[in-house]
Structure 1
Amino acid sequence: MDSTPHGAAVTATGFGVKGPRGWAFQDIDITAGPGSLVAVQGPSGSGRTCLLLALTGRMKSADGTAEVGGLPLPKKRAAVRSVTALAHVPGVAELDPALTVGEHLRERALLQGRFGSSLRALLRPRHERRAEARALVDSALAAAGLDPEALPKGTRTSVRDLERLEALRLSVALALIGAPRLLAVDDTDLKLSDGERAAAWALLRGLTAAGTTVLAVCSEPPEDGEGVVLVHTGTRPDRNTPKGASGDSPATSDASDASDATDATDATDATDATDATDEQDSTAGKHDGPDDEEGAADALAETGRA
């Protein structure tokens, strides 16, 4: 396991996820050091979201090898989930439009205090725990560049009233409350103007400068590609013919991708109990949501774009 104090290195060789109907993605190679910005680019239906979920331990791979922070996938999926966080992923880590900004922040802080802390921390005086939660929230908001007081109704602003970039910043802030070593962001630049897209990439670059590794799904990588690890999903002329029988390809139709990823996720359910048992020591004091796998499947079925 690597000794980096914060950001997690990400490596993958021939990495792929497959369902009974074909490959969601295949033959992915990545070499990214701690604190890297990894941009995942590809056409709709090419497995971008599946890759994001697989590299954060939410979906089981079927081919190749990968490591996140020195933790091998898929063997240490639960441990990988404990050091990674998702932002902006429909059906898995999405904002509730009916809730306010303040309600989202309080809920995430409570969850972090309950499931992300040691037993000793839970036994501390209530005022100490509240102060720590407030500090976590303030730090996350600052890192995400979101000032609640600048919103129309402050923390009482409903999510449905947020601009697209503001919603992205809030989603990132919520993920950062858990101090992940790797932050995975889906649809980073979806429906953003040129100026908003530049601001979104500036936000993510700021996180990597502070040491957090960022994995961002996008339609277009940042204009200034210096230091960016670019990963392509889907069939490309300079790639080898995808492996596998029956003409499977990494880029299938939108509907097929959603179904295949759901099938691939469902097929792992029987092994989850074994994974959790094998990895109890490495995940003590961490909360692995019981519906991680179901959430991944729901997200892909809902978006139809992964």
Structure 2
Amino acid sequence: MGGESVGTETEEQPHGATVVVDGFGLKGPRGWVFRQVSFRAEPGALVAVEGPSGSGRTCLLLALTGRMKAEEGHAEVGGLPLPRKMAAVRRISALGQVPGVNELDPAFTVAEHLRERALLQRRYDGSVRALLRRPAERAAAARARIDEAVKAAGLDLDALPKGERTSVRDLERLEALRLSIALALMGRPRLLAVDDTDLKLSDADRAEAWALLRSLAAAGTTVLAVCSEAPEDALRITTLSGETGETGETTPQASGTQASGTQAPATTEATTTETAASEPGAGARPAADTTTGATDADRAAVGETAADDTTDATTEEGAADALAETGRA
């Protein structure tokens, strides 16, 4: 009876994750990367983090998905507190392509990327029953998950130069963006984070990219997208480059509280204070991007301790086995 009750409650919960941020801040060795970030996004909201390149937008995205540890304020993603539950937040969130964190392999084909992600997802989905299925059943389930993600990302495999055998290096920017989103969706995340959404896109392609993200948000997934210019119907978070004083810290400029929004929220704006000195790789180190949880080494990289979160049952050997099946081990 108790198990049925829990299952019913889980089904009634919205798929997307509520994101609540209050005075959130991350500091690097040369000053604040961002600070005084405050906003609320309801499940299925489209949140656009806009600002100039180097203003810390990516670091904010990584912090809100549990890949970087903030030192100031607090946030909750799907009811999970940050930074205390970083590994748990990583389990319910997924990243599109982020330079230096989970870039697409240019030598791999589209099919190889999709197959690899499906294998990794099977290893990390936590279902013992799935692992005990017959090979034919596992292959069919993996194919169904791939097809579902590809369709949701709007990636037309037949339209590619060589179909699914097209190498990533031969993809147009919009196609590569769709592929990275398809890979992220394979884990059926409650929060999807996309970096450089409108980078190097024409006006027409930019409109298509935002239409895709709106459709994902409308389907219930909360979407967090970094961009240079946010669309009017998104929940907007604007980052500004701060002024660094002699102490290396950033002088606060402004802060604000974002109004809550759902699938098509009204345009509002929250300004955060940031410094361009601390992008990913410039002192504040992102946690390893894995499908589920983090190892002790991951925790050490972001400053977590054993008391901060539970340790995943998944081992590094499991990841190595899955990569070996794709030839990447």
Alignment of 1:1-306 (within 5 A): 4-222=13-231, 225-226=232-233, 228-235=234-241, 247-249=249-251, 250-254=273-277, 258-262=281-285, 269=301, 271-274=303-306, 278-280=309-311
Change beyond 3 A, Cα 1:258–1:110? closer
TM-score normalised per structure 2: 0.77
Letter in 2 for 1:261: A
- Is the Cα–Cα contact under 8 Å of residues 24 and 260 in structure 1 kept in the other structure? no
Structure 2: distance between partners of 1:263 and 1:112: 21
- Is the Cα–Cα contact under 8 Å of residues 78 and 275 in structure 1 kept in the other structure? no
Structure 1: distance between partners of 2:279 and 2:114: 36
- What is the RMSD computed on CA atoms of the aligned residues? 3.0
Shift of 1:269: 2.7
Structure 2: distance between partners of 1:35 and 1:207: 8
Structure 2: distance between partners of 1:176 and 1:263: 21
Structure 1: distance between partners of 2:280 and 2:165: 38
- Per-residue deviation, residues 193-239 of structure 1 (Å, max 9, x unmatched): 000000000000000011000000000112xx23x210011258xxx
Letter in 1 for 2:214: R
- Is the Cα–Cα contact under 8 Å of residues 4 and 34 in structure 1 kept in the other structure? no
Shift of 1:261: 2.2
- Per-residue deviation, residues 1-45 of structure 1 (Å, max 9, x unmatched): 997341001010110111232111111112100010000011121
Change beyond 3 A, Cα 1:119–1:140? same
User: Unaligned regions of 5+ residues in structure 1, if any?
Assistant: 291-306
Greater displacement, 17-26 / 195-204: 17-26
Structure 2: distance between partners of 1:158 and 1:8: 34
Shift of 1:275: 5.4
- Is the Cα–Cα contact under 8 Å of residues 189 and 221 in structure 2 kept in the other structure? yes
Structure 2: distance between partners of 1:246 and 1:97: 38
**Percent of counterpart pairs with the same letter?**
61
Stretches of 4+ aligned residues off by more than 3 angstroms: 253-258, 262-268, 270-273, 283-287
Change beyond 3 A, Cα 1:158–1:235? closer
Aligned pair count reads 279
SS of equivalent residue, structure 1 residue 200: helix
Shift of 1:258: 4.5
Structure 1: distance between partners of 2:93 and 2:157: 25
TM-score normalised per structure 1: 0.83
Change beyond 3 A, Cα 1:46–1:108? same
Structure 1: distance between partners of 2:310 and 2:161: 45
Write 1 or 2 for the structure with the bigger share of helix: 1
- Is the Cα–Cα contact under 8 Å of residues 68 and 285 in structure 2 kept in the other structure? no
Change beyond 3 A, Cα 1:246–1:88? closer
Letter in 1 for 2:198: D
Shift of 1:179: 0.3
Structure 1: distance between partners of 2:115 and 2:174: 21
- 1:297 alignment partner in structure 2: none
- Is the Cα–Cα contact under 8 Å of residues 99 and 158 in structure 1 kept in the other structure? yes
- Is the Cα–Cα contact under 8 Å of residues 66 and 73 in structure 1 kept in the other structure? yes
- Is the Cα–Cα contact under 8 Å of residues 75 and 82 in structure 2 kept in the other structure? yes
User: Unaligned regions of 5+ residues in structure 2, if any?
Assistant: 1-8, 252-272, 289-297, 320-329
Structure 2: distance between partners of 1:109 and 1:267: 25
Letter in 1 for 2:221: T
- Is the Cα–Cα contact under 8 Å of residues 37 and 214 in structure 1 kept in the other structure? yes
Structure 2: distance between partners of 1:257 and 1:86: 15
